[in-house]
Chains A and B, each alone.
Chain A
Amino acid sequence: MSARVTSAARVLAPEPAVGQGGAAAASLGADAAAALRAARLALLRDLTLAFRQRSQLIQPLAFFAMVTLLFPLAISPELSRLRAVAPGVLWVAALLASLLALEFLFRDDAHDGTLEQYALSGQSLTWLMFAKTAAHWLLTGLPLALMAPLAGLSLGVPVAALPGIVASVAVGSVTLSLIGSIGAALTLGIKRSGTLLSLLTLPLSLPVLIFGARATELAINGAPLAAPLELLAALAVLGITLAPLAAAAAVRISLE
């Protein structure tokens, strides 16, 4: 665990002294620069840790593939029937996989005290939460989006639809990670919080499911999918604006 601790220490390393008497604008700029620097280090740290412990990367993907496999077995091997339900299958599988991966977001950091140090560091916790969520998306959302074509092909989706599917999962999973960060922060420290976490985050994730499945359906039919994709992007922008604030507040509440 020493790698975890030293890498956290780098994030929290004391700032180079900022001139106290400088103009307010200059110190504001320095604060923003410091916050960004801390956020970048937190992001790199989470990525490094994940690549040193690859089960965290592989498990959500394996889960996604496994859930996709369940449907042909449960419904029928006929590709024509599978193609009809493919958008729903892909998106439910992606939603569940991203939910499962939320466990990795804060658990270890809360366990070894890193999260407490983040909160006490004087750095903007909002930026640090944004960095952690961004790392989480890079480690689960993006791989899920890249994996979606494989799952899609196995469900009889035409090749021409694959770029649209990748785009919709990539954009939609941003919002899923952001909503999940609030839920995961609120349930920190609750024993066996898995079912509670799903009860908290799934209702809030339904718009993403609706627009994402619709975009996938349009892509499969070869229709333009700009409208649902733009709605997904709008949700992502709203989430990026508000969710890190809420997640930071939730972490502070949970650490009290």
Chain B
Amino acid sequence: MTWTWFHRLGSPPYVYALAARLTPWFAWPAALLITGGLAGGLVLAPPDYQQGDGFRIVYVHAPSAWMSLMVYMTMAIAAAVALIWRIKVGHAVAAACAPIGASFTFVALVTGALYGAPMWGTYWEWDPRLTSELILLFLYLGYMGLRAGLEDTQRADRASALLAVAGSVNVPIIHYSVTWWNSLHQAPTVMQFGKPKMALAMLVPLLMMLAGFTLYFVAVLLVRLRGEVLSRERAASWIPEVLKT
């Protein structure tokens, strides 16, 4: 077992080329899965017997909510790897994750509110999941705010990495305390996302959307990573040669 593949990740030109090469491998399956999932979810799946066609927003909402957490985890892991082993690419990955994660969180919040309008009769309900999602959005905003506040890239990298790691310790605590808080103040939620008993015709498109969103995230991450590498290495001599082609 050799570690050369791992050490090569320390070289920005290699990472740049690798990201460029890998992007289509994620982007095309993502496009296929999302198209298929949307067709299956919005057209082929039968309407829910209680919620009618309103439930179909779940095909965007649930994957976004899932991704919002997963991107945070990816960000924290990349940040921890970068902090511990001093791998600069990790910082670039973490920095590239944050805006994507914040966007997924925002989409999850908006679709959740739109979902709530017909289901609860109100756009905003202090549901534990929506509340946690809102707090997650602030965690992302704090991370991006810290990066924006620090001009020196190295310091911004390491400070924001520490914040991401500290935040990832806190995310489960926040989640459970919000659930606890909510269980005291109101009856359990009216509806549950991701019901275990879901008709196969509804479930398959949802799983396709989940996989599609995950691959889409990786594809966008790779594109953003190239941007990060370019802006970090803007003084390096390999950049004009790469951009010529």
- Which residue numbers of A lie inside 8 Å of B, CB to CB? 182, 186-187, 190, 193, 196, 199-200, 202-204, 206-207, 210-211, 214, 231, 235, 242, 246, 249-250, 253-254, 256
- Residue pair B173, A235 in contact (C-beta under 8 Å): yes
Q: Which residues on A sit within 8 Å (CB–CB) of B165?
A: 246
**Distance, CA A242 to CA B167, complexed state (A):** 12
Taking the closest CB of chain A, its distance from the CB of B156, in whole angstroms, is: 10
- CB closest chain-A residue, reference B131: A206
- Residue pair B181, A214 in contact (C-beta under 8 Å): yes
Give chain B's interface residue range (CB within 8 Å of chain A). Answer: 20 to 34
- Tell me the total A-B contact number using a CB cutoff of 8 A: 69
Q: Which residues on A sit within 8 Å (CB–CB) of B150?
A: 190
- Residue pair A196, B146 in contact (C-beta under 8 Å): yes
- Residue pair A199, B142 in contact (C-beta under 8 Å): yes
Taking the closest CB of chain A, its distance from the CB of B153, in whole angstroms, is: 12
A186-B146, A210-B178 as given contacts; A204 in contact with B155, CB under 8 Å: no
Q: Which residues on A sit within 8 Å (CB–CB) of B166?
A: 182, 204, 246
**Distance, CA A187 to CA B149, complexed state (A):** 8
Taking the closest CB of chain A, its distance from the CB of B177, in whole angstroms, is: 4
- CB closest chain-A residue, reference B156: A253
Interface of B is mostly: helix
Contact of B162 among A193, A199, A250 (CB under 8 A): A250
Question: What 14 new A-B contacts, CB under 8 Å, besides A190-B150, A253-B155?
Answer: A186-B163, A187-B149, A199-B142, A200-B145, A204-B167, A206-B174, A207-B177, A214-B181, A235-B173, A242-B169, A246-B165, A253-B159, A253-B162, A254-B159
**Distance, CA A139 to CA B173, complexed state (A):** 27
The verdict on B141 contacting chain A, using a C-beta distance below 8 Å, is yes
A182-B166, A187-B149, A207-B173 as given contacts; A199 in contact with B138, CB under 8 Å: yes
- Residue pair A193, B138 in contact (C-beta under 8 Å): no
Contact of B184 among A214, A235, A253 (CB under 8 A): A214
- Residue pair A202, B174 in contact (C-beta under 8 Å): no
Taking the closest CB of chain A, its distance from the CB of B160, in whole angstroms, is: 8
Q: Which residues on B sit within 8 Å (CB–CB) of A242?
A: 169
Taking the closest CB of chain B, its distance from the CB of A175, in whole angstroms, is: 10
**Distance, CA A246 to CA B168, complexed state (A):** 13
**Distance, CA A119 to CA B149, complexed state (A):** 23
